[in-house]
Copies of this chain bind each other. A is one copy, B any other.
Amino acid sequence: MTKMPTPGAPPSPGHDGRPGRPVGLRDVARMAGVSTATVSRVLNTPERVSATLRERVAAASARLGWVPDGTARALATRRTGAVGAVFPTLSHGDFARAAEALQGELRSRGYTLLLACSHYDLAQEHLLVRQFVERGVDAVVLVGNAHDPQTIGLLDRLSVPYVKTFNYDPEWRHHCVGPDNRRAMHGLTRYLLRLGHRRFGVIAQSAHNNDRAAARLQGVRDALSEMGLSVRPQHLVEGRWTIAEGRALFRKIIEKKPWPTAVICGNAYLAVGAVLEATARGIALPGEMSIVGYDDVEIMQELPVPITTLRIRSDEVGRLAADYVVATLAGKQPSTELECEVEIMERSSSGPVPRASRRESVPRRAKGADAGRR
Interface on A for B, CB 8 Å cutoff? 22, 65, 67-72, 74-75, 80-82, 89-91, 93, 96-97, 99-100, 103-104, 107, 112-117, 128, 130-136, 154, 157-158, 242-244, 247, 269, 272-273, 276, 279-280, 298-299, 302-304
Task: Determine the chain B residues whose CB is within 8 A of the CB of A130 once the complex forms.
Answer: 67
Q: A113-B114, A134-B67, A304-B280 are in contact. Are A97 and B103 (CB under 8 A)?
A: no
Taken together as a complex, chains A and B put the C-alpha atoms of A107 and B84 apart, in Å, by 14
The answer to whether A90 and B97 touch (CB under 8 A), given A112-B135, A243-B299, A302-B244, is yes
| Distance between A119 CB and nearest chain B CB, rounded to angstroms | 8
Report chain B residues within 8 Å CB of A298.
242-244, 269
A112 near B103: Cβ-Cβ < 8 Å: no
Contact B303 A276, beta carbon cutoff 8 Å: yes
Residues of B within 8 A of A70 (CB): 134-136
Centre residue among A243, A244, A273 by max chain B CB count within 10 A = A243
Cβ contact of A104, chosen from B65, B114, B117, B133, cutoff 8 A: B117
Residue of B nearest to A160 (CB): B67
Kindly report which residue of chain B lies nearest to residue A298, judged by CB atoms.
B243
Assess the A115–B131 pair: CB atoms within 8 A.
no
Q: Which residues of B contact A134 (CB under 8 A)?
A: 67-70
Complex interface: chain B residues within 8 A of A69 (CB):
75, 134, 136
A290, chain B: closest CB distance, angstroms:
20
Instruction: Find the B residue at minimum CB distance from A304.
Output: B280
Q: Are B82 and A135 in contact (CB under 8 A)?
A: yes
B residues within 8 A CB of A116? 103, 107, 112-113
CA distance A250 to B93 in the complex (A): 25
Residues of B within 8 A of A115 (CB): 99, 103, 113-115
Distance from A214 Cβ to chain B, minimum over Cβ atoms (Å): 24
**A–B Cβ pairs within 8 angstroms, 9 of them:** A70-B135, A71-B80, A90-B100, A91-B97, A103-B117, A104-B117, A107-B128, A243-B299, A299-B299
**Closest residue of B by beta carbon distance from A22:** B158
Known A75-B75, A243-B302, A299-B299; contact A90-B96, beta-carbon cutoff 8 A: yes
CA distance A135 to B68 in the complex (A): 9
Pairs of residues from A and B, 5 with the lowest C-beta to C-beta distance, nearest first:
A96-B96, A90-B96, A71-B74, A70-B135, A115-B115
- Please measure, in the bound complex, the distance between the C-alpha atom of A133 and the C-alpha atom of B22, giving whole angstroms: 13
Chain B residues within 8 Å of A96, by CB: 90-91, 93, 96
Q: A74–B135 Cα gap in the complex (Å)?
A: 9
Whose C-beta in chain B lies nearest to the C-beta of A65?
A: B157
Q: A356 to chain B: closest CB distance in Å? A: 26
Inter-chain contact B103/A158, CB cutoff 8 Å: no
- CB distance B67 to A133 under 8 Å? yes
What is the CA–CA distance of A82 and B269 in the complex, to the nearest angstrom? Answer: 34
**Chain B CB within 10 Å — which of A99, A154, A157, A302 has the most?**
A302
With contacts A67-B158, A276-B303 known, is A89 near B100, CB below 8 A?
A: yes
Closest to A100 in B: B90
State the CA gap A70–B75 with chains docked (Å).
9
CB distance from A106 to the nearest CB of B (A): 9
Known: A82-B135, A91-B97, A115-B113. A75 touches B71 (CB 8 A): yes
Contacts of A269 in B (CB 8 A): 298
Q: Is the CB of A273 within 8 A of B302?
A: yes
> What CA separation (Å) do A303 and B132 show in the bound complex?
41
Q: A272's contact among B100, B157, B302, B304, by CB below 8 Å, is which?
A: B302
A93 to B243, CA, bound (A): 15
